[in-house]
Amino acid sequence: MTRQEFISELRIALQGQVDQATIQDNLNYYETYIMQESRKGRTEQEVLEELGNPRLIAKTIISSQPEREEYEEERVHQSAGNNSNFDFHINGKAYGGWKGKVLAITAVIAFFVIIVGVIALVAGTISLLAPILVPVLLILLALRLISRR
């Protein structure tokens, strides 16, 4: 098996199982690894024998994908012609579909609750201090006016 055959088999085994970015990342990784090892003096055949069957590597890559169910769900939506994907990201994790919408709505509601709370706190503080501050400010204003004459 040659390097190109290995890469081709890996691509075929991953196609439709993981997203395109994952496929490309892994193809680039193995392409680079094989070339680096060949530059170290090892034959391409030795490196490929060490790596093993590309289909087994593909199975490992596929099984290590934590987002497998979400990817499949997204793929089904895309193949059905639904191109209006909505993703909500928290700490680098994307939540799509109804989960993303629920999280987005919850975040908006939480934002408004916090804003209303801050406004209520400021208004409450002003209403508590107004009976004291207004007379004090009026006295200071009167003193200033008197001191200028």
List pLDDT tens digits, range 74-110.
555 555 544 455 565 666 666 667 777 887 889 899 9
| pLDDT tens per residue, range 122-143 | 999 999 999 999 999 999 999 9
Question: 26 and 55: one domain?
Answer: yes
Pair 10, 74 in one domain = yes
| Residue 118 sits in the same domain as residue 139 | yes
Domain count, the chain: 2
Q: Domain range spanning residue 57? A: 3-85
61 and 96 both lie in a single domain: no
Name the domain boundary from 61, 85, 109. Answer: 85
The pTM (predicted TM-score) of the whole model is: 0.45
pLDDT tens digits for range 28-68: 999 999 999 999 999 999 999 999 999 999 999 988 887 55
Cα separation values, 132 from 119, 122, 137, Å: 21, 16, 9
Q: Which residues of 69-94 are buried (b: 16+ CB within 10 A; e: fewer)?
A: ebbeebeeeeeeeeeeeeebeeeeee
